[in-house]
Amino acid sequence: MDATVIDTVEFPLNERREAWVETMALAQVTQRVKFLETAAFGARIELMPLGIGQLSALSYASVIAQRTPRLVRQSDPEMYHVAVVTAGEIGIEQYRQRSLLKRGDMGFFDSSRSFDTFAGDTPGKTLLFQFPKSCRCV
């Protein structure tokens, strides 16, 4: 299985943020992104098909991503996401519940519901497995 790698360092500085937003929309779901870092934004995603799903290794910092109810209505791939934090901290809020995931923690979220994610100043790394809700994986 070949992986697809997208690293924002391959883009000119003024195109990195837009490239990341487009990448996340194609790799996962459409999100509204706010970049907190004032310097050059850097992020990387490695995508690999895995059975009926997809495994992604992500690294990024200083970003807030929101999947609003409007974005859900516009496009919903009806996927479940399982995130395992391998470095840093990632905050997730969905279903009016907040979690701060640290290295070794696991979180679950649903593409059909709005959510907010947050990565602070410390670069975060996450493994993300996403699979269709229609999966009968038992």
Q: What is the mean pLDDT of residues 18-38?
A: 83
Check residue 121 and give its pLDDT: 73
**What ranges do the domains of the chain cover?**
4-132
Average the pLDDT over 14-33 and give the result. Answer: 85
pLDDT in tens, 79-136: 999 999 999 999 999 988 999 999 999 999 899 999 999 887 777 899 999 999 987 6
What long-range pairs does 41-44 form, CB within 8 A, spacing at least 24?
Answer: 41/8, 41/16, 41/17, 42/8, 42/9, 42/16, 43/7, 43/8, 43/16, 44/5, 44/6, 44/7, 44/8, 44/9
What is the CATH architecture assignment of 4-132?
A: Sandwich (2.60)
pTM of the model: 0.84
